[in-house]
Amino acid sequence: MQHRQSVSHADPKLEIIDARQRIRIRFEDGGVTLTPAGRPSTRWVWSVRLVGVGGVASSLWLETQRPVVARGRLEYRHPGVTEWILNEPEGMEHGFDVLEPIDSEASEVELRLALGGSLLPSVGPDGRGLSLRDPHGRILLHYDGLQAFDRTGRQLAASMALDRAQLLRIRVDVAGAFYPVVVN
């Protein structure tokens, strides 16, 4: 999403309106919701919320967090993971800082995101992006460009998978990684 966004501090929610792409982004307790801004010809809604993080032998289901503005970005601070949204000229960036190993024996970390709304998600063939379609099959949004790096800047293998179109699993190979690991 690009250009002229305005941030409003409506209590207790934060919101960005991307005038160029005509998208309203609401940062609510627990997650992010996107809807059309202005007077759209079609109505839709899409939401994403980090609900869990896990390794091979452990899994942590996360409680709802309130968004906070810190370091020029919006953050949701979960135990061991900071979820963040950064508003850049080239678009919105949604990422996660995995602060420490979730499971000391795990070679993989999995972020679990609950998806909601009226758009139908599908993972692309490379497993690094998600297309969101309306009921007529038109792609309205992209959630793509998945990448992961450790503290040294080493790129880590990462992929997405869907469970019943409502749970997005982002898996990152953390074997030999130095924390924190950044996923975006």
pLDDT > 50? residue 14: yes
The tens digit of pLDDT for each residue in 51-92 reads 989 875 567 777 778 888 888 888 999 888 999 988 776 667
What pLDDT, on the 0 to 100 scale, is given for residue 176?
Answer: 93
The tens digit of pLDDT for each residue in 132-154 reads 999 999 999 888 899 999 999 99
The most confident of 30-39, 47-56, 128-137, by mean pLDDT: 128-137
Q: Which of 130, 92, 138, 125 is nearest to 113 (CA)?
A: 130
Integer Cα distance of 97 and 89 in angstroms: 21
The pTM of this model reads 0.86
Q: What is the mean pLDDT of the chain?
A: 84
Q: Domain limits of the chain?
A: 50-183
Q: Give me the half-sphere count of Cα atoms (radius 13 Å) on the Cβ side of residue 62.
A: 26
pLDDT > 60? residue 95: yes
User: What band does 37 get if pLDDT is binned at 50, 70 and 90?
Assistant: confident
Query: 103: which 2 tokens?
Result: 């499971």
Query: 184: which 2 tokens?
Result: 């975006």
Q: Which of 120, 96, 99 is nearest to 178 (CA)?
A: 99
Integer Cα distance of 114 and 51 in angstroms: 6
What pLDDT, on the 0 to 100 scale, is given for residue 89?
Answer: 67
How far CA 128 is from CA of 131, 145, 159, in Å, comes to 10, 6, 5
User: What band does 9 get if pLDDT is binned at 50, 70 and 90?
Assistant: very low
Q: Which of 119, 146, 124, 117 is nearest to 135 (CA)?
A: 119
Q: Comparing 9-13, 100-104, 131-135, which segment has the lowest mean pLDDT?
A: 9-13
What pLDDT, on the 0 to 100 scale, is given for residue 88?
Answer: 72
